[in-house]
Structure 1
Amino acid sequence: MKKALSYLQKIQIAVGGIFLCIFLGIVVIQMACRYVGIAAIWTEDVSMYAFIWAAFMGAAAMVYEKQHFAFTSVSDKLTNEKLKKILGIVIALIMLAVSILMFYYGFRVTIQFWNYRWVSIPDFKRGPTWLCIPVCGATSALYLIGQIVEDVKALLNKQGGK
């Protein structure tokens, strides 16, 4: 399972990196167009949606690495490794609940807005733009389930070894 999750995370980082490159490229095009006085209204939407995809893919990938935003003031003060592990599991369970909600409501939003059209590029639908939310929620949930399983196994092994 860990190998599959690691592979999924690498794909997610690659997708996020591609969208970040698209974002940066479009920003350069936007600046060049403004400099020469050409109106390229499509660049605002494309850069914004590329950035959103990059951010959501990066956020989920960091959940795998346990590098997500966290308050560590309580866990830093704990000296007992077992308590740290238990606290980590509790935090992962809370994050799992949020990830599941993100998947569920992100999926509903994606369906709701699937046929809406971009203002600047009417041939493009907005649905794929919103798809990053349920993808982030689903992959974050998978990563968290993997972490919880590993942490529970580690706790059980420590208890069984004593």
Structure 2
Amino acid sequence: MFITHESYREGRPGFPGPGRTAWRMIERESIDPWYHVILRFTEGARQFTKRFMPTDASLLSNLLELEGPTCLVEEVQVITSPWVNGGLSERMEKLISLVIGYDQKGECVLLHKVAGGAVYSSVRDGLDAGSLTGIRTIYEDTKTAPSVVPEFAEH
């Protein structure tokens, strides 16, 4: 989840529009992956892009459902913490696929395949990916090569 502080609220009258609030800075404390999504919208002859930052896979899935004749998903990136990516700092990488399944304890497991070829798991301990049940694909970049985890194709 993102946290905001009133002192960073953008207070120009009428901006950014009804039902919306603009912030110059947000805070994030969670170590779970989050996403950066670029959508291209078409309204008649006019096209414009918007960038969204869903904080979890459920919100990402809801956002991806917008895709249709007037909305195109241009790119999805995942931001991972060091405990997920095995590095020393957070990384923002192009997401190739996102698969969800459930382990033997019934816990939700996310598998993120990124452009560099790595597959990041949402569980810290060793994961037997073949033992996951209820597997479904939340996102797959159709402009890129097929997923490295083809055994996770939807059933």
Q: Which has the higher helix share?
A: 1
| Shorter-chain TM band | under 0.3
Which structure ranks higher in relative contact order (CA pairs < 8 Å, sequence separation ≥ 6)?
A: 1
TM-score scaled by structure 1?
0.23
For the pair shown, which has the larger CA radius of gyration, 1 or 2? 1
TM-score norm. by structure 2 comes to 0.24
Answer 1 or 2: which has greater strand percent: 2
